[in-house]
A and B are shown apart, each in its own frame.
Chain A
């Protein structure tokens, strides 16, 4: 059974800092991994999708990496801004099941 863990649970940083959010999963037989952002009271917005054959994906100030063998993914946010404040969730889709299992999220606060 796939389990997804995110560390840290909460993070508070000053504006401009580069930061790394971590996601780990127990079963390396995955189809893809997706990072989402959720603002309070809102739905989830997809940030980056990494297929199992890829090592990383980039979008603007965001970079996500995937290491299947170690069961880990990281989301790197460069030059953080107050507008980046949100909860970030990773979701892992296991091979053969097409089930997306979510981590518990990292609540990020960027201070101006």
Chain B
């Protein structure tokens, strides 16, 4: 399997611009997570989905952030408008949880490094 795939790997944008980060989870995984990592706050869970349905978005910092999962193989995290304090590495992770495969192991993508000037 190709693992969790994220794009872009690096994004530099100016304050006020819209940013869209993309994620393709591991095929067959039913949970998808978006995390943000900064030096100050470490890894923070933003939102997670189960079978394409958002389950908990309590970590989304503001209304400027939104996430969607239109199908089992694709998710987006959008920031509009972006601000310098949004600069961070954004990670997507996926896992499989079912009655038959009871592991819950998290697999991470390589991350998208966002810089907002």
On A, residues with C-beta under 8 Å from B are 31-32, 34, 36, 42-46, 49, 51, 89, 91, 93, 97-105
Contact = CB atoms under 8 A, between A and B. Distances in A.
Interface string B90-105: 0101000100001111
Please classify the interface of chain A as helix (H, G, I), strand (E, B), loop, or mixed, using the class held by over half of its residues.
strand
A98 B31 contact: yes
A37 B97 CA distance: 22
Given A43-B91, A44-B91, A98-B48, 15 more contacts: A32-B104, A43-B109, A43-B111, A44-B93, A44-B106, A46-B107, A49-B104, A93-B104, A98-B55, A98-B104, A99-B45, A99-B48, A99-B56, A101-B45, A102-B43
Interface string B77-117: 00000000000000101000100001111111111000000
B45 A105 contact: no
B103 A98 contact: no
21 contacts: A34-B106, A36-B106, A43-B91, A43-B108, A44-B106, A46-B105, A49-B103, A49-B105, A51-B102, A51-B103, A91-B43, A97-B56, A98-B50, A98-B104, A100-B45, A100-B106, A102-B42, A102-B43, A102-B45, A103-B42, A104-B42
Interface residues of B, number: 23
Nearest to A89: B43
B15 to A, nearest CB: 24
A42 B110 contact: yes
A25 to B, nearest CB: 14
Contacts of A91: 43, 106
A44 B55 contact: no
A98 B45 contact: no
A103 to B, nearest CB: 8
4 closest A-B pairs by CB: A102-B43, A44-B108, A43-B108, A43-B110
